[in-house]
């Protein structure tokens, strides 16, 4: 029997598996960064395969508690994919009907996974991205408000609340005084907002850095270029200590490195987060500082097997 053997947890529901995700040292990525350690918190270990399981579950549970979501209403929201998978899993586990509005060009894997749980998909324009899905879902809800419970992940405070209560506390429990920096990308911004608020309450300063696509037209699915997007109501640019731009090429290249060097097959938003962490580490070295950086692994790479509009050498 291995020395680190621990008995498996017994769960009452698949939903009890959300959270308490592991963190792994990127010891090959950070091998050339003396004095700095980079860790990746593996949010793809959630049962729905992404960090979005946390806010989706918290939003649904809080709505059920408040009575704003009932069994006679359809849960609906706009999503680029991962939150939709989370809603679909949760809806199936709780016996709730789910409809999702998503851009027509999201990956086939995400469409197939959500529909496997019995979710009905409504497609918005592929040219308008996640913002187009938001506009369409608002139109649907305004026409039949009694039919739907609009979860509204972009405005719902229970989105960042999940990370304040869960992700942030788990990082502190695991790293304590070791952690010096936290890195996460901006999509709905819930991960960055909630986790940062919790980490900023710690007795020692922890610098929290938000990664954002450097370009308005980018290939980092799930992340938002805030200046050119509908800003989520939960987003507050004063919460992060810094907003760090990362290009699509940087995010894609790091995604390839994580697979080849660390055995981690992850999505491009994760690649962007780690690219941001490496930039941060290089700055620490220049300033002759040491550090322990914790970044978020948002999801697995198998969500991206279908070809996307962006390619590394795509000619417009």
Q: Which are the contacts of 156, defined by CB distance < 8 A and separation ≥ 6? A: 55, 59, 234
Residue 64 has pLDDT above 50, yes or no: yes
Among 13-17, 110-114, 235-239, 280-284, where is mean pLDDT lowest? 110-114
Q: Can you name the residues that pair with 38 across neighbouring β-strands?
A: 293
DSSP structural state of residue 230: -
pLDDT one-digit tens code per residue, 40-49: 999 999 999 9
Q: What is the pLDDT of residue 222?
A: 86
How many CB atoms neighbour CB 203 within 10 A? 6
Coil vs helix vs strand at 111: helix
Q: What is the pLDDT of residue 6?
A: 60
pLDDT averaged over every residue in the chain: 93
Instruction: Single out the residue of 262, 265, 268 nearest to residue 250, CA to CA.
Output: 268
Among 32-46, 79-93, 235-249, where is mean pLDDT lowest? 79-93
CA distance 178 to 174: 9
**pLDDT band for position 137 (50/70/90)?**
very high
How many residues are given for the chain?
Answer: 316
**pLDDT band for position 311 (50/70/90)?**
very low
Mean pLDDT, to the nearest integer, of 218-242?
94
Higher pLDDT, residue 295 or 104: 295
Q: What are the structural domains, with CATH classification, of the chain?
A: 14-47+166-304 (3.40.50.1100), 53-150 (3.40.50.1100)
Q: What is the pLDDT of residue 304?
A: 74
CA distance 11 to 30: 36
Higher pLDDT, residue 30 or 106: 30
For tokens 């091998």, the residue is 31
Q: What's the pTM value of the predicted model, to 2 decimals? A: 0.91
Q: What is the pLDDT of residue 251?
A: 98
Q: What is the pLDDT of residue 3?
A: 55
Among 29-43, 119-133, 179-193, 289-303, where is mean pLDDT lowest? 119-133
Residue 9 has pLDDT above 90, yes or no: no
What Å distances lie between residue 154 and 133, 168, 236, CA to CA? 12, 19, 12
Q: Given strand 97-103, what is the order of strands in its sheet?
A: 120-124, 97-103, 74-78, 148-150
Higher pLDDT, residue 211 or 229: 211
């Amino acid at each position: 029997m291995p020395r680190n053997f621990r008995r498996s947890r017994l769960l009452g529901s698949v939903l009890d598996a959300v959270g308490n995700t592991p963190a792994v040292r990127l010891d090959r990525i950070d091998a050339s960064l003396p004095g700095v350690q980079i860790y990746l918190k593996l949010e793809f270990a959630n049962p729905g395969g992404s960090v979005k399981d946390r806010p989706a579950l918290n939003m649904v549970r809080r709505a059920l508690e408040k009575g704003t979501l009932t069994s006679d209403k359809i849960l609906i929201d706009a999503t680029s994919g991962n939150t939709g998978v989370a809603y679909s899993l949760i809806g199936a586990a709780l016996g709730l009907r789910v409809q999702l509005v998503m851009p027509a060009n999201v990956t086939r894997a995400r469409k197939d996974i959500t529909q496997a749980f019995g979710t009905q998909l409504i497609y918005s324009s592929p040219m308008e991205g996640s913002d187009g899905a938001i506009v369409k879902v608002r139109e649907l809800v305004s026409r039949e408000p009694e039919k739907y419970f609009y979860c509204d992940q972009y405005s719902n405070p229970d989105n960042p609340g999940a990370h304040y209560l869960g992700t942030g506390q788990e990082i502190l429990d695991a790293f304590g005084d070791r952690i010096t920096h936290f890195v996460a990308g901006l999509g709905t911004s819930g991960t960055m907002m909630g986790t940062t608020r919790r980490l900023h309450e710690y007795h020692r300063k922890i610098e929290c850095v938000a990664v954002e696509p450097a370009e308005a037209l980018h290939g980092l699915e799930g992340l938002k270029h805030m200046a050119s997007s509908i800003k989520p109501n939960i987003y507050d640019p004063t919460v992060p200590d810094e907003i760090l731009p990362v290009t699509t090429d940087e995010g894609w290249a790091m995604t390839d490195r994580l697979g080849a060097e660390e055995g981690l097959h992850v999505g491009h938003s994760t690649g962007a987060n780690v690219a941001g962490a490496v930039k941060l580490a290089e700055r620490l070295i220049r300033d002759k500082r040491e550090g322990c950086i914790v970044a978020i692994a948002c999801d697995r790479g198998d969500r991206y097997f279908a070809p996307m509009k962006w390619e590394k050498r795509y000619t417009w």
